[in-house]
Amino acid sequence: MIVDTLANRNLYSHISPRIAKALAHLSETDFSQLEVGTYELDGKDLFVIVNDYETKPREMEPFEVHQQYIDVQYVFSGEEEFGYLPLADQTPSKPYFAKHDYAEFDYQSNKDAAAFIPFKAGMFALFFPEDMHMPGTSATPKQVRKVVIKVKI
């Protein structure tokens, strides 16, 4: 996992050309002008999801992991927190669903080991396949516009 602001995006562009393209897109795009939805940057290898939502309490959300894509998550407006825990030897509460590249892990089983990190407008996070993460939470409901770029591994 990597967490930083877009001002430092060039520090991470060497990881892969697709991550470099994703970070450049985040810095060059005015997401206030886009409708909620999915947009292709490079077919299924690189695509953008723009979403507006209200955060939920930790207890209502599962942890998740992905095997086929790296998540580049960016808070365009608002603020939330996300949970993080290394995947290590965790057991999913729901099996991996290949069609949506998603496995789910129970919050209650992992709450004592997880770290919760503030995630504010202008910040991005890279979640790799070994990173369990729980996005979209906060103690009190908050409106968030988040952009997720899915980067094919």
What digits encode the pLDDT tens for the residues 23-51? 999 999 999 999 999 999 999 999 999 99
Interval 46-58 mean pLDDT: 97
**2-152 topology per CATH:** Jelly Rolls (2.60.120)
The pLDDT assigned to 106 comes to 85
Cα separation, 15 vs 30, in Å, equals 24
Number of Cβ within 10 Å of residue 109's Cβ equals 12
Amino acid identity, position 140: T
Interval 9-29 mean pLDDT: 96
Nearest to 21 by CA among 45, 49, 50: 45
Where is average pLDDT lowest: 7-11, 15-19, 111-115? 111-115
The pLDDT assigned to 110 comes to 74
The pLDDT assigned to 91 comes to 84
Cα separation, 20 vs 3, in Å, equals 15
Interval 58-72 mean pLDDT: 94
Cα separation, 108 vs 26, in Å, equals 33
pTM of the full structure = 0.94
- Element housing 153 (H / E): none
The strands making up 79-86's β-sheet, listed across from edge to edge, are 94-97, 102-105, 63-65, 131-137, 79-86, 115-120
Q: How do residues 73-128 score in pLDDT, each as one tens digit? A: 999 999 999 999 999 878 888 889 988 899 998 887 777 888 999 999 999 999 99
Provide the β-strand partners of residue 15.
Answer: none
Predicted confidence (pLDDT) at residue 149 exceeds the cutoff of 80: yes
The pLDDT assigned to 66 comes to 95
Cα separation, 27 vs 133, in Å, equals 23
Cα separation, 106 vs 91, in Å, equals 9
